[in-house]
Structure 1
């Protein structure tokens, strides 16, 4: 057989082999995909233990601790006795953090806890040694203030700690203090409780039972949703169809910008958002944007502590959506954040929102207006305008 025929036959065999391998690979991919989908549908890998059975066991243990007198709270009676706070479904479980949807007196709410078990929180050791209310209230208030400073990096005046401070009442004061202490070890609870009286852009805390606290249920964003937020779900019957969609989405974008301005300017220190993605925000039925996950939110003093780390290059100074610049002489990251909330949200969430409702020509102008707020200097972004400038354009 001539050499060229042998070469051709070899190539054909290789092609047939490659085709067979490709078909086998496709079959394996399809089977694997079906398995993964089935696994996820049954509450598999990515859902952790986010199952009805596991969630109900956690709440049953919470109620057992309540009946033993280990913990208390203004929602314990409704959850454990009156059955007016009823489990609906598990929404999230990761590294112990539990997020559960429930129905409270006909109203949907969210139950949250950083850890699933009450005993996993640090307890006030001296409570076991006390038989009477022998600890001075001023001393306990100081302990609360120190815990808040440790979490927020801020010194708060006593008159702002009202939502966090549990005054000792009646025979169950030990359980009250133990429950309060478990809540104070949860950063999100402190943020929501402290800020809810000063901001419409954070979740409202409804009540608590032990280490679980309840917040309002809102329509959260999703990256896969074409408009990021489901306007229909938020507005319900008041949504009158596609004619209102563009106006509603524009209102959401403006509210997002208002939230950015509010977090930048209206507190004693700037509040930095280091994980800006649709899933961490929600909308109320008046289209107000609300931060619902603030695990990666930090006031200026704590933000500076986080950023000021050792480094060998700028890549070592990135902390999710927040970053600074590496000083190669001192090998330290700068304490001052090099980007800001507007730049991250403007180029991400705001742009995606506008792309769903603006014409192509207007969208290009909007993108140019947003990008005009950002100048690149030595590889880092600096802002040359404010959220009000972008909001003013949206109102035009």
Structure 2
């Protein structure tokens, strides 16, 4: 066969290398561009810039270059040599014939453009011995050697195009470079869209399940945290009225880990036969900002530091935490009882506690609210409150009823328990709205943040997202481009599109969120008990719907349902009367 004819043939088609999954899925923007890549080996080190045409003998030349091909050093040379604009000599012809037997594999068939095909022979002398019948004499070529260094740039272009996003999507015709640029841009856009999709999915997951990135709650780590706490107590770094029971007497003993969430540690313990909960915003005492005292006051253990100045410092921290200006007399639950030999440790402990908003709120509500657990004591930065079983969507009634007085049984008993808890929720909402100088807003209302006592009284056991009116206005008043930018968990505001500022006033209410997230679960369907009349159940369901979505029922602004509270209270009291009559 003439050697020129061999050069005139097209390059062999690339073999298919798809996996089973790739063969069923077309390459789109949703698939990473990396799923379509060439499977050729790295060309590796390049030979010298010019091919030596004076190799002694054709056999030795073929063995030399054949060895290079077998070692995959000239994997990319097939695309380099056809780009030469001059006819190759006889030894180059043998090299090209050997290289044409090379087969490259890729994930999709790529047809080389016309300019990449081998040119036809330019001289009749370049024929194989078999075609002419005359033995070919080794004559020197008049063609200068092919410069590989000058052709590498052009050889790199088809490799980049072949590795583009999709079969044929990045091929360029005579334009060449323009096609490669378009391919690069399309690949960058596809990669950016794919990345943005994953980021959006992760953001939605974290919004729906904020605890997905929380630390694993283990007994081993919890015991290690308490051991470090006791070590610092023995060293005089911190104090507390529960430290002796925890670290010396052993009457306050660890039971189990409840949860870790965004640094917060919540542990269950037994205190002289009474279940309690130990809580702290941070794991380590050193994680809290230390109290800065003048050098002379720190040297004598803070004994001579004026109490009036300490009161001002603590009041300022409380103001930052709650947004309230409190008189000095209101700080009694937070203030150390007396100055002892560990006065500096007392100040450090006090300072770590007032940096925890939940501790400050529980302490101030100590004797003012039946819907907040009292603080039983503290050791360092951990404080103790009474243990109450938290609610959960897994419970049919949202809250465990086993520990309630006269544990309700059957549909009638459960209906009575639900009506009692619903009335207690209404009482809590009214209490937080009206019984303080400023309204207390609950911005994270869900069953897990509440518990019930044995008499069905509802208790807010997690108030990290509870804010009095001044702090709430400060949080809501932010920049915005739409109403969705003004939503802070369960506390909503509206965006002023002219000023691009969220309104400082909350537009929904505690009652509306309680109806939406608690009452809907109880009353969206019938109570499924014959002890309550069907008309009363339907009225209760409609009232809950009106409370949860006032705009959908009355067309008014969110939260504008001043009489729905009394309607719900009246219907729940009527439910209780019917249940009591059914028991007789």
TM-score with structure 1 setting the length = 0.85
Q: Which residue among 347, 354, 357 is the counterpart of 1:184?
A: 354
CA contact (8 A) 1:309 1:317 kept: yes
Residues 131 and 206 of structure 1, relative CA distance in 2, 3 Å threshold: closer
Runs of at least 5 residues in structure 1 that lack an aligned partner in the other structure: 1-12, 19-43
Note the 1:44-193 alignment, pairs <5 A. Answer: 48-126=215-293, 128-131=298-301, 133-193=303-363
- Corresponding residue for residue 51 of structure 2: none
Q: Deviations over 1:345-373 (max 9, x none)?
A: 01220221345872475443212123334
Q: Which residue among 307, 317, 320 is the counterpart of 2:486?
A: 317
Q: Deviations over 1:87-143 (max 9, x none)?
A: 000011122210000000001000000001001111112264444511111111111
Runs of at least 5 residues in structure 2 that lack an aligned partner in the other structure: 1-19, 26-210, 529-533, 575-584
Q: Deviations over 1:64-104 (max 9, x none)?
A: 00000000100000000000000000011122210000000
Query: Could you say what the CA RMSD is over the residues aligned between the two structures, in angstroms?
Result: 2.2
- Corresponding residue for residue 439 of structure 2: 270
Residues 54 and 133 of structure 1, relative CA distance in 2, 3 Å threshold: same
Q: Deviations over 1:121-175 (max 9, x none)?
A: 1111226444451111111111111111111001112222111111442201111
Q: Secondary structure at the match of 1:73?
A: coil
Q: Which residue among 557, 561, 570 is the counterpart of 1:383?
A: 561
| Structure 1 position 315, deviation (Å) | 1.0
CA contact (8 A) 2:536 2:571 kept: no
| Structure 1 position 302, deviation (Å) | 0.7
Aligned partners of 1:382, 1:366: CA distance in 2, in Å? 19
Aligned partners of 1:129, 1:390: CA distance in 2, in Å? 62
TM-score with structure 2 setting the length = 0.58
- Corresponding residue for residue 503 of structure 2: 334
Runs in 1 of length 4+ with deviation above 4 angstroms? 44-47
The worse-fitting range, judged by mean Cα deviation, of 288-297 and 154-163 is 154-163
Aligned partners of 2:568, 2:291: CA distance in 1, in Å? 49
The worse-fitting range, judged by mean Cα deviation, of 125-134 and 146-155 is 125-134
Q: Which residue among 537, 542, 545 is the counterpart of 1:371?
A: 545
Aligned partners of 2:425, 2:305: CA distance in 1, in Å? 45
Q: Deviations over 1:47-66 (max 9, x none)?
A: 62310100000000000000
CA contact (8 A) 1:355 1:363 kept: no
Q: Deviations over 1:261-289 (max 9, x none)?
A: 10010000000111110000000111100
CA contact (8 A) 1:100 1:112 kept: yes
Aligned partners of 1:65, 1:356: CA distance in 2, in Å? 55
| Structure 1 position 46, deviation (Å) | 6.0
| Structure 1 position 195, deviation (Å) | 0.8
Aligned partners of 1:47, 1:292: CA distance in 2, in Å? 19
CA contact (8 A) 1:87 1:101 kept: yes
Corresponding pairs, count: 355
CA contact (8 A) 1:250 1:354 kept: no
Q: Secondary structure at the match of 1:155?
A: coil
Residues 90 and 46 of structure 1, relative CA distance in 2, 3 Å threshold: farther
Q: Which residue among 358, 367, 370 is the counterpart of 2:527?
A: 358
Q: Secondary structure at the match of 2:438?
A: coil
CA contact (8 A) 1:123 1:181 kept: yes
Higher radius of gyration, 1 or 2: 2
Q: Which residue among 411, 424, 427 is the counterpart of 1:255?
A: 424
| Structure 1 position 45, deviation (Å) | 7.0
Aligned partners of 1:387, 1:201: CA distance in 2, in Å? 18
Residues 135 and 224 of structure 1, relative CA distance in 2, 3 Å threshold: same
- Corresponding residue for residue 24 of structure 1: none
Aligned partners of 1:391, 1:375: CA distance in 2, in Å? 17
Aligned partners of 1:393, 1:312: CA distance in 2, in Å? 41
Q: Secondary structure at the match of 1:139?
A: helix
Q: Secondary structure at the match of 2:567?
A: helix
Q: Which residue among 393, 413, 416 is the counterpart of 1:244?
A: 413
Aligned partners of 1:330, 1:339: CA distance in 2, in Å? 21
Q: Deviations over 1:208-247 (max 9, x none)?
A: 0000000000121001211100111344xx3252242221
Aligned partners of 1:370, 1:245: CA distance in 2, in Å? 19
Residues 389 and 196 of structure 1, relative CA distance in 2, 3 Å threshold: farther
Residues 372 and 186 of structure 1, relative CA distance in 2, 3 Å threshold: same
- Corresponding residue for residue 295 of structure 1: 464
